[in-house]
Structure 1
Amino acid sequence: MYAVGFFDLLFRVLYLVTFVLSLYSLIEAARTPAPAFPAMDKQTKGLWVGLLAGGTVVSLAAFLGMSAFLTILALIAALIFLIDVRPAIRQIGRSGGDGPYGSW
């Protein structure tokens, strides 16, 4: 009986982490200018925002106990964005000569 409660808590923590990563990725994708994506040979902004919005909804549903079926796909999409896409598109923002701390 104790093991079931432990694993339930563990999965809820994993679902929460997935939700937070998905939400953060969604916010970052939405804040990024659309021309930055094709300029770095990445998929379009609309595709990434759609994937990450879907992942955020799925991971929130899993955290609330509704369905955990596609949560791993939400985690994969968020990690791909954070590890591959975000660093590439942030390079565009750094190429400007506005100062050491960014464009403002």
Structure 2
Amino acid sequence: MIAFEILQAYALIERLPYFLVAIAGVIGAILAATTRDDAYTAGDRQNKWIWVGLVAGSALVVTLPIPILPWAAMVIIGLYWFDVRPQLRNIISNSGGW
């Protein structure tokens, strides 16, 4: 009985990072949907709705118990948060570097 509870707790702890990344994906999709269209064009990025679809779809895929696919989805979510989003924020706030 106690072994079953330990295994359940381990399974929950093992899936927790995936759900946290999925939450980051949902928030990223909302932020992508509320960002101006012309910022994506100015940043030489894909269309706004392509990014919304990629990030929202990735948030869904991360929660699936498929072996490799969630890792690719996490890469897409990370790409949005650490590459696309900072560039769009710089374009929108007119704080370009050099």
Matched ranges for 1:11-30 at <5 A:
11-30=14-33
**8 Å CA contact 1:38, 1:44 repeated in 2:** yes
**8 Å CA contact 1:55, 1:74 repeated in 2:** yes
Aligned residue pairs total 90
Percent sequence identity is 30
TM score, norm. by length of structure 2: 0.77
CA distance in 2 between counterparts of 1:87 and 1:22 reads: 15
Q: Aligned pair 1:68/2:56, yes or no? A: no
**8 Å CA contact 1:34, 1:44 repeated in 2:** yes
**8 Å CA contact 1:36, 1:92 repeated in 2:** yes
Tell me what 2:42 maps to.
39
**8 Å CA contact 1:21, 1:75 repeated in 2:** no
Tell me what 2:11 maps to.
8
Counterpart residue identity of residue 92, structure 1: I
* Greater share of residues in helix: 2
Counterpart residue identity of residue 82, structure 2: I
Q: Any idea what SS the aligned residue of 1:35 has?
A: helix
Q: Where do 5+ consecutive residues of structure 1 fail to align?
A: 97-104
CA distance in 2 between counterparts of 1:44 and 1:12 reads: 32
CA RMSD in angstroms, aligned pairs only: 2.0
TM score, norm. by length of structure 1: 0.73
Q: Aligned pair 1:56/2:53, yes or no? A: no
